[in-house]
């Protein structure tokens, strides 16, 4: 088992990565406030993994209330959140109850927001089961739901007590979802870890073939990067750089997700196309070479990801991007690359360059 720590003073927590962890109730017990757990999952993940976890907790004397939500990004909304509150209230869960998220990023974000708000906050544990959630969404405490006008627009920062990533769960993940997670893995290489980018280029086929050691290595290196960034700027308040850099490609990607309707493209797919737009724009600003742009495109393609944007039209992209959470006093801050492995936040992009970069990426 690999072990990392997210260092947030009295809210620090471990990130445990390895095979066979779902049945290890002993790893979870020290983080429970009482012997009561609300286990939030969905109709796809629960039949696969709920029993092994619930049985292990039950044997350890923990009472488990299962809460099973409909599956999909389209359900990351108030209705699902209310289903969680209803179940917590109906079964008289109290402030000692720990909410445990078992699933991908949608379940993690929903369950986390429920934990942040139920009775003004109860403890929370993340058990991510997709590559994307194991390398990104389970770590760092961002929780929330979508609004029809914008992705992740309602939410809270609420750190888990523990992240338990069982790499065996990736064996049942559909190929398209594995690729979607790879977009966030590649992100860490692009924004701050050039050696990791090279390692991904050398190992992409093995990763997609689900070599367990390679996947564990990629998850650990991704989480190590994320933990460092979050520890330095937990609430994304740094004036420049900081946690916002984790959103490379996301401003464009969120426009695709909202513009097409949630669930049409996978989050990671939208991030991949958005990353190409950010890289293309960085090239137009003179920071990246054409060869750099080509290198990013090739790696994303090899990971099975789209490099062409959804054809919404540049005007619609700009309209949707104007709702981004990185807009400060009306000015859009984009995450761009000064070089491969070196991201910055940038508020001075000329509008015509932005439009040209979007158009170029939607054409090809
Ligand atoms: P997801 O949660 O929708 O999971 C993808 C699909 O895989 C779903 O159908 C799910 O039921 C299924 N699944 C999950 N685990 C499985 C398994 N082991 N075997 C088979 N099927 C499995 O999507 P995701 O990519 O995990 O997460 C995307 C979400 O995460 C988005 O809503 C995004 O906004 C959010 N996100 C949040 C953060 C954050 O910091 N909080 C960061 C990145 C992304
Ligand atoms: N996924 C971006 C962040 O956690 O800040």
Residues labelled catalytic: 120, 142, 184, 226, 240, 243, 247, 250, 254, 267
Distance CA 45, CA 65 (A): 16
| CB 184 less than 6 A from any atom of ligand 2 | no
Question: Is the shortest distance between the CB of 189 and ligand 2 below 6 Å?
Answer: no
Domain carrying residue 78:
2-172
Of 119, 78, 76, nearest to 101 by C-alpha is 76
Q: What is the CATH number of the domain that holds 213?
A: 1.20.1090.10
Residues 189 and 196: beta-carbon distance below 8 Å: yes
DSSP calls for 220-245: HHHHHHHHHHHHH-TTS--SSSGGGG
Of 147, 172, 197, which residue sits at a domain end? 172
* pLDDT tens digits for range 150-202: 889 999 999 999 999 999 999 999 999 999 999 999 999 999 999 999 999 99
- pLDDT surpassing 90 at residue 51: yes
Last residue of a domain, one of 172, 196, 214: 172
Reported as a pLDDT band with limits 50, 70 and 90, residue 42 is very high
Q: Which of 256, 245, 286 is nearest to 358 (CA)?
A: 256
Residue 331 binned pLDDT confidence (cut-offs 50, 70, 90):
confident
Q: Any idea which ligand is nearest the CA of 137?
A: 1
Which ligand 1 atom lies nearest to the CA of residue 133?
Answer: 26
Dist. CA 138 → ligand 2 center (Å) = 10
Pocket, ligand 1, Cβ cutoff 6 A = 42, 44-45, 48, 71, 73, 76, 103-107, 109, 129-130, 132-133, 136-137, 140, 142, 152, 169, 172-173, 177, 180, 267-268
The domain total for the chain is: 2
Are 233 and 336 members of one domain?
yes
Within 10 A of 73 (CB to CB), how many other CB atoms are there?
20
Question: Mean pLDDT, the chain, as a whole number?
Answer: 96
Predicted TM-score (pTM) of the model is 0.96
Confidence at residue 328, expressed as pLDDT on a 0 to 100 scale: 67
Shared-domain flag, residues 145 and 9: yes
Which ligand 2 atom sits closest to the C-alpha of 236? 5
> Among residues 172, 190, 211, which one ends one of the domains?
172
Task: Verify that 160 and 218 share a domain, yes or no.
Answer: no
pLDDT at 323: 84
Judgement on whether residues 132 and 206 belong to the same structural domain of the protein:
no
Q: At what angle do helices 267-284 and 290-302 cross, to 10 degrees?
A: 170
Q: Are residues 200 and 349 in the same domain?
A: yes
Percent of the chain with pLDDT over 70: 99
Determine the 3-state secondary structure of 12 from DSSP: coil
pLDDT of residue 353: 95
What is the reported pLDDT for 50?
98
Q: What percent of the chain has pLDDT over 90?
A: 95
The tokens for 204 are 């992409």
Backbone dihedral angles phi then psi of residue 241, each to the nearest 5 degrees? 65, -130
149 shares a domain with 60 = yes
Atom number of ligand 2 nearest to Cα 226: 4
191 and 231 both lie in a single domain: yes
| Tens-digit pLDDT profile for residues 130-143 | 999 999 999 999 99
In this structure, the answer to whether residues 185 and 54 fall within a common structural domain is no
Q: Is beta strand 36-42 parallel, antiparallel or unpaired with respect to 98-103?
A: parallel
Do 29 and 129 sit in the same domain of this protein?
yes
In this structure, what token pair is assigned to residue 276?
């190409």
The DSSP-derived string for 173-207 is S-HHHHHHHHHHHHHHHHHH-HHHHHHHHHHHHHH
129 shares its domain with 196: no
Q: Residue 150: what pLDDT?
A: 86
Q: What is the mean pLDDT of the segment spanning 258-264? A: 93
Selection from 174, 162, 140 nearest residue 45 by Cα: 174
Task: Measure the CA–CA gap between 39 and 144, rounded to whole angstroms.
Answer: 17
Q: Write out the H or E segment, with its range, that includes residue 38.
A: strand 36-42
Average pLDDT over residues 289-318: 97
How do residues 20-39 score in pLDDT, each as one tens digit? 999 999 999 999 999 999 99
In this structure, which residue's CA is closest to atom 40 in ligand 1? 137
* 86-128 tens-digit pLDDT: 999 999 999 999 999 999 999 999 999 999 999 999 999 999 9
Residues 92, 197, single domain; the answer is no
Confidence of residue 71 (pLDDT cuts 50, 70, 90): very high
| Burial class of 157 by CB neighbour count within 10 A (0 to 12, 13 to 18, 19+) | middle
Cα→Cα distances 2→51, 193, 223, 241, 316, Å: 24, 20, 11, 29, 44
CATH of the domain at 112: 3.40.50.1970
Candidate of 243, 254, 335 to mutate for ligand 2, largest count of ligand atoms within 8 Å of Cβ: 243
- Whether pLDDT at 329 is above 70: no
294, two tokens:
């080509």
pLDDT at residue 258 tops 90: yes
In this structure, which residue's CA is closest to atom 11 in ligand 1? 44
Q: Are residues 164 and 179 in the same domain?
A: no
> In the numeric block, which tokens belong to residue 91?
């079964």
């Amino acid at each position: 088992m690999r072990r990392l720590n997210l260092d947030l003073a009295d809210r620090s927590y471990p990130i445990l990565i390895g095979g066979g962890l779902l049945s290890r109730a002993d790893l979870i017990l020290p983080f429970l406030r009482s012997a009561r757990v609300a286990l939030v999952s969905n109709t796809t993940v629960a039949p696969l993994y709920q029993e092994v976890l619930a049985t292990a907790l039950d044997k350890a004397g923990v009472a488990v209330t299962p809460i099973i939500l409909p599956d999909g990004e389209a359900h990351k909304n108030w209705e699902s959140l209310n289903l969680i509150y209803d179940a917590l209230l109906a079964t008289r869960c109290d402030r000692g109850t720990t909410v445990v998220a078992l699933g991908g990023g949608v379940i993690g974000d929903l369950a986390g927001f429920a934990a942040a708000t139920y009775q003004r906050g109860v403890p929370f544990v993340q058990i991510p089961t997709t590559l994307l959630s194991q390398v990104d969404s389970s770590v760092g405490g961002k929780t929330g739901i979508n609004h029809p006008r914008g992705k992740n627009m309602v939410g809270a920062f609420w750190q888990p007590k523990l992240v338990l990533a069982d790499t065996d769960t990736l064996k049942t993940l559909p190929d398209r979802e594995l690729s979607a997670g790879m977009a966030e893995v590649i992100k860490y290489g692009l924004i701050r870890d050039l050696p990791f980018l090279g390692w991904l280029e050398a190992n992409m086929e093995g990763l997609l073939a689900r070599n367990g050691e390679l996947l564990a290595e990629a998850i650990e290196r991704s989480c190590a990067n994320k933990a460092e960034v979050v520890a330095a700027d937990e609430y994304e308040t740094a004036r420049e750089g900081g946690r916002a850099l984790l959103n490379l490609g996301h401003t464009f990607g969120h426009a695709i997700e909202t513009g097409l309707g949630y669930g049409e493209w996978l989050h990671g797919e939208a991030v991949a196309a958005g990353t190409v737009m950010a890289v293309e724009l960085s090239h137009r600003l003179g920071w990246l070479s054409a060869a750099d742009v080509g290198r990013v495109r090739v790696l994303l393609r090899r990971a099975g990801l789209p490099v062409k944007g959804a054809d919404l039209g540049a005007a619609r992209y700009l309209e949707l991007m104007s709702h981004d959470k990185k807009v400060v006093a009306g000015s859009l801050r984009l995450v761009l690359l000064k070089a491969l492995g070196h991201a910055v936040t940038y508020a001075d992009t000329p509008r015509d360059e932005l439009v040209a970069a979007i158009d170029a990426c939607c054409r090809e």
